[in-house]
Every structure is written in structure tokens, then in C-alpha cells.
Amino acid sequence: MPVKSYLVFPKEGEKNNLVDKLNQLDWCEVLPAQNKDVLVLVTDTLDESDEDNCLNQLNEIQEIKHYTLVSGFEENENHTSQ
């Protein structure tokens, strides 16, 4: 399951609208910065297909000026700890 975090920059004046739109999506959690117009978006999808769908939905949101991947982790079911 891919878990990724992004910094999301809203278009000017659209931060609250963007938070509302992102909060409507099942696969993400939004954490707005208190003192800046930037959001931290954490996504948790089931597989790469869902991750692709997630990115397609993000690309369609008009209130997003820019977003960038900060961190990504994917749990591999075949991974064994030593």
C-alpha cells in the first residue's frame, strides 16, 4: 500500500476551498499550515492503480497551483525483516 506525502500550494485565495475539496477524498488527510498558504497532504492508497487514480484526481483540482512529492513509502508484502 503506497503512503505518500505532498506539499500542496493553493492558488491565491483558494486555500479554504482546496482544503474542503481534498477532505472530500477518501484516500487522503489534509493538514493546513497555521502561518502559510501551504497544505500537507498524506495519501494512503491500496495499490499503484489507486495511486494513479489519486494523482489523476489531484491534477483535476483547479484550486491547486502546484504540488510536490515529499516522501513515499510502499509496504511490500514479500518483504521480510532480518
| pLDDT by 10s per residue, the chain, length 82 | 788 999 999 999 999 999 999 999 888 999 999 888 999 999 999 988 998 999 999 999 999 999 999 987 766 655 444 4
| CATH class belonging to 2-40+54-73 | alpha beta
SS3 5: strand
Q: Which three cell numbers stand for residue 16?
A: 479554504
Q: What is the pTM of this model?
A: 0.83
Domain ranges within the chain, ordered by starting residue: 2-40+54-73
